[in-house]
Amino acid sequence: MTATLTTCPYCGTGCMLYLLSDGQGRLVGVEPSAGHPVSRGQLCVKGWNAHAFVQHPDRLKTPLVRRNGTLEPAGWDEALDLVHQRFRQISAAHGPDSLVFFSSAKVGNEENYLLMKLARVGYGTNNIDHCARLCHSSTVTGLVETLGSGAMTNTVACLDETDLVLVIGSNTTEQHPLIGSRILQATQRGCRLIVADGRRIKLSRHADLHLRHRNGTDVALLNGIMQQILELGLENRAFIEERTENFTALQESLAAFTPERVAAITGLQADEITAAARMFGTAKRAMLLYAMGITQHSHGVDNVRAVSNLALLTGNLGKPGTGVNPLRGQNNVQGACDMGALPDVLTGYQKVAEPSVRDRFAAAWGRPLPDRPGLMATHAFDAALAGRARAFFILGENPVLSEANQAHVVKALAAIDFLVVVDIFPTETSAFADVVLPAACYAEKDGTFTSTERRVQRFRRALPPPGEARADWEILSALLERCGLPAGYPGPGQIMDEIAAVTPSYGGISYPRLEESGLQWPCPNHDHPGTPILHRQSCTRGKGRFSPVDFRPSRELPDAAYPLLLNTGRTGMHWHTGTMTRRSHLLDREEHSAFIEIHPEDAARLSIRDRQQVSVESRRGEVRVMATLTDRVPLGQVFMPFHFVEGAANALTNNALDPESGIPEFKVCAVRITPC
Amino acid sequence: MLKRLDRADLEKLLAALATGYRLLTPQRLADGTRLHRPHGEGALALQGEPVQRKPTEAFFPQHDPLLRIGEQGEVTTCDPPDRPVALFGLNAADLACIAFIDRFFADPPADDHYLARRKDALLVGLTGFAGPGGDFLPPANGMCDLELLALGQNWLGVPWTPRGEALLEGFPDGEQAEVEELQETARTRGNPAQDLLEKAAGLVASEVVPDDFWREIGDRCILCSGCNLACPTCTCFCVEDRQEQAATLRSRVWDSCQFDAFMREASGHNPLGTEALRTRRRIHHKLAADVTRWGEFGCLLCGRCDRVCPTGIGIQAVAAEILARFGA
């Protein structure tokens, strides 16, 4: 029996757990880490089942190469040579920007770093991005502008000392359960809770105030709350004067957001908005927590700005129990962003457009860097259809199920010349691939993940990978070498040393310092203890900037032809496209098939019974799923999780993008439902 | 027979155990977790809270391969490990939990797979001043092969079976008066947690706890299933079949009655279809149903579900709340 201390592979909360194996190479269970500051001897249901998919027989065990239309087993050298040769050919014929690289928020920091290095100096393009484009690109854009750093400002432990929590657009008990449970514990000790969410999520049952505003009206709601805070004189004048700029512009922008107007836009009562303002404005310390309900809109960046404005207006920044706290989705989405797996920045958000930054990296890497920011993942599919993007390298992502407007993605993947997929299981995306490379999963390799609270922590190898599967860092090293770049890293620890040398915020991070519960960045040097709370004396950018925003409606709202608003998201049992959780026995048993939540009154009007199969259609596609009648959703709204290939929510969603962050509008589109 | 062991004697006893058994001892890992680990892997943690993982795992693992079904339909059972296990360092509650599930698995029809692991296993109690920071733990007075009563730097060795007696052979004799002193300490301290549980159980069994209360507690459940996974007397499992090459491997896997699918019918109907009903079941089963079936509570106060629950609704927390609200 062995016990390997590692980090959970699911959400960004960053719990640590022991993977238990029976000594004969079989994983038998999971035990939470007692001493870890976030897990504290506890886990959520996915954490308790984190071992369950690892040894599933479906694991990819050998490289596959498409021959005469069929994916067939091949040797590693053959497969890697083919990848390199085709990428070189396509780059020679169409330019390096015809290549597109998707990195993964599921692999380690070291692996994200190597892939962005491979894209930039191996193949000469900044076309590197990953699924943060689909979750918190709005946060990175919005908070960098207002605060100077696009990450959670405070820590999870701050929930123990706050007086009020405002949760907006986050189903925390299901999506970040060990943060959600910490909120429930806070309410037990008397902390007040405001939940702003159209759905009756579990947290709302514990809320002092539940604001069920219409999907897509967050800017109006937040502006309305701020307008009332000013009206009631509850703003923090001293903080505004000392720590912020552009207040007058904010003040002017809010004037029009009277409770009556906001009530008309949001569907709330005017006095609910005033009550929220009073509650939030009078709290000594208040924390703002948000997630995809804020970011996944065609005005996602504006939503983030509004959240940031509210924190600045009330001085809830830079001290314990406060802050703007975006909850990052994937276990390493924070790290993948930190590592520069983004088209416009290198590690630590250093801009590729900045010549001095490129010079520094060119000196470290021994090759010049491309100077033009690359394509966002969501734009890459358009580029593929336009013939500008010809070859995709997709590491640990499944865009066929995860991107908005599935038909668009499928068309794009069918149109390109060459597709490489690196993954642990066959996926709906790997079905299109010319080469499939089998990867080790988190339990079979070493590395680091960075959690939502910026905590860089180790994951550790508990058993060898299946068959010939290799760690992603080994696969990427082999490609770097084929590009003539030195990549003889003895292990991920040495890759982290290279990261630390080129990344100021990770400057003090090294494996020996991460042995127990990790370090929170910024950690600029080897004596630095890490930074639990950002913006303490001043913001990263200096003054906190108020960024006034106006209300823009969602791009596709219900109408006579498509009368219901479709909201999409996740459930507590499954993870994203189900690659792992649908192969975990208990999780898959609990939620076994695709469903849509519909209000009983809407269902009655449409003659739909509970558990009946229904057809759901949008302007982009149609799927068949089971109806679940529940008043969790408001009247006129339906909700679908995107986990299920047999009822893919993203066949319906709208790939209308935020103009700045490129995030699709996953949270709002129009559908019609008919019984089957 | 009563023996008195010093630290060197204790090491000698452990060395003897390690020759005949797969010896597991409580060890404190780097992050602070106290777990049963193979003896010698890390430093012994002779004092502390109960080992985090339930000790019944040694006989009823979380994921337990039962049998293989070959291509031609031939069935081969999965055998337990060659050497029997010795579990060292169990407190009275943990020993009582093992006794509880022994009775469950041995009850006809007996569970051969469980008994194969259990039959030659050796249990060593560790009580007395062996709690966190040297706190007092009441003696187990049996339920194990031998019990060590911690007195600080020394241990009184009490054999409860012939195997225990043989293992203690040759160590210096102890004073019966010292055992009696520990028994007296246990008597004086009483068991307030047990008293609380009994009072709460009385209220649960007499149906004075209203549905609203269960709804409220159920609202606080985030469905992690940890309470069941951590509970040493929870014995529910489901069966998982996996294709391994041409064969099918059938395993049993710890289940949780807090899952909707635990009781859901193929039609989709679920007689325990709400969190409130499932929460009530979890508490009612341990405090009322088990009393009817076995004559004792299914909760032996090991404390694990309270420790593992992220929202503070472990059985002792719920019992305290029941008593505070309906006990007047």
Q: Residue A574's domain is classified under what CATH number?
A: 2.40.40.20
Q: Name the amino acid, one letter, at A9.
A: P
Note the pLDDT of residue A23. 81
CA–CA gap between residue B142 and residue B161 (Å, rounded): 9
On whether any CB of chain B is under 8 Å from the CB of A514, the answer is no
A-chain residues near B307 (CB < 8 A): 41
More confident residue, B267 or A636: A636
Largest CA distance in chain A: 72
CA–CA gap between residue B282 and residue A437 (Å, rounded): 46
Buried b (16+ CB within 10 A) or exposed e, A542-552: ebbbbbbbebe
pLDDT at B164 over 80: yes
Question: Tokens 């296990």 correspond to what residue?
Answer: B85
End-of-domain residue from the set A308, A327, A346: A327
Note the pLDDT of residue B59. 96
On whether any CB of chain B is under 8 Å from the CB of A16, the answer is yes
CA–CA gap between residue A381 and residue A411 (Å, rounded): 9
Within a domain: A661: yes
Note the pLDDT of residue B82. 80
pLDDT at B278 over 80: yes
- Residue A228 CB neighbours (<10 A): 24
Number of structural domains in chain A: 4
Q: Are residues A106 and A228 in the same domain?
A: no
pLDDT at A311 over 90: yes
Q: Do residues A166 and A289 lie in contact, with contact meaning Cβ atoms separated by under 8 Å?
A: yes
Q: Residue A36's domain is classified under what CATH number?
A: 2.20.25.90
On whether any CB of chain B is under 8 Å from the CB of A36, the answer is yes
What pairs with residue A194 in β-bridges? Answer: A166, A209
CB contact under 8 A, B34 and A51: no
Domain ranges of chain B: 3-66+80-187, 194-326
Q: Considering chain A, what is the average pLDDT of its residues? A: 97
CA–CA gap between residue B99 and residue B125 (Å, rounded): 13
CA–CA gap between residue A166 and residue A210 (Å, rounded): 10
CA–CA gap between residue A200 and residue B34 (Å, rounded): 39
Chain A closest-CA separation from residue B310 CA (Å): 6
Q: Are residues A160 and A124 in the same domain?
A: no
Q: Are residues A194 and A302 in the same domain?
A: yes
On whether any CB of chain B is under 8 Å from the CB of A32, the answer is yes
DSSP state at residue B288: I
Q: Are residues A245 and A372 in the same domain?
A: no
pLDDT, tens digit, 9 for 90 and up, residues B126-144: 999 999 999 999 999 999 9
- Best residue of A179, A585, A587 to probe chain B, by most B CBs closer than 10 Å: A585
Instruction: Please give the share of chain B, as a percent, with pLDDT higher than 70.
Output: 100
Q: Are residues A216 and A309 in the same domain?
A: yes
Q: Are residues A20 and A83 in the same domain?
A: no
Note the pLDDT of residue A516. 79
A contact residues 561-600, partner B, Cβ 8 Å cutoff: 572, 585-586, 589-590, 592
Buried b (16+ CB within 10 A) or exposed e, A565-598: bbbbbbbbbbbbbbbbbbbbbbbbbbbeebbbbb
Chain A closest-CA separation from residue B281 CA (Å): 18
CA distances from B299 to A593, B233, B304 (A): 36, 7, 10
Q: Are residues A385 and A431 in the same domain?
A: yes
Within a domain: A146: no
Measured N-to-C along each axis, helices A218-231 and A270-282 cross at an angle, to the nearest 10 degrees, of 60
Note the pLDDT of residue A276. 98
Q: Are residues A516 and A421 in the same domain?
A: yes
Within a domain: A56: no
pLDDT, tens digit, 9 for 90 and up, residues A174-229: 999 999 999 999 999 999 999 999 999 999 999 999 999 999 999 999 999 999 99
Q: Name the amino acid, one letter, at A639.
A: F
Q: Are residues A117 and A158 in the same domain?
A: no
Within a domain: A339: no
CA distances from A31 to A47, A56, B99, B230 (A): 9, 20, 23, 9
pLDDT at B172 over 90: yes
pLDDT, tens digit, 9 for 90 and up, residues A465-490: 999 999 999 999 999 999 999 999 99
Q: Are residues A159 and A125 in the same domain?
A: no
Note the pLDDT of residue B245. 81
pLDDT band at B316 (very low <50, low <70, confident <90, very high): very high
CA distances from A236 to A243, A307, A368, A480, A558 (A): 11, 16, 48, 53, 40
pLDDT at A349 over 80: yes
Q: Are residues A168 and A309 in the same domain?
A: yes
CB contact under 8 A, A178 and B310: yes
Instruction: Please give the share of chain A, as a percent, with pLDDT higher than 90.
Output: 99
On whether any CB of chain B is under 8 Å from the CB of A200, the answer is no
pLDDT at A235 over 80: yes
On whether any CB of chain A is under 8 Å from the CB of B32, the answer is yes
Q: Are residues A127 and A159 in the same domain?
A: no
Q: Name the amino acid, one letter, at A473.
A: W
Give mean pLDDT, residues A44-50: 98
CA distances from A188 to A160, A624, B91 (A): 11, 42, 32
CB contact under 8 A, B62 and A28: yes
Domain of A102 in residue numbering reads as 77-131+356-461+472-520
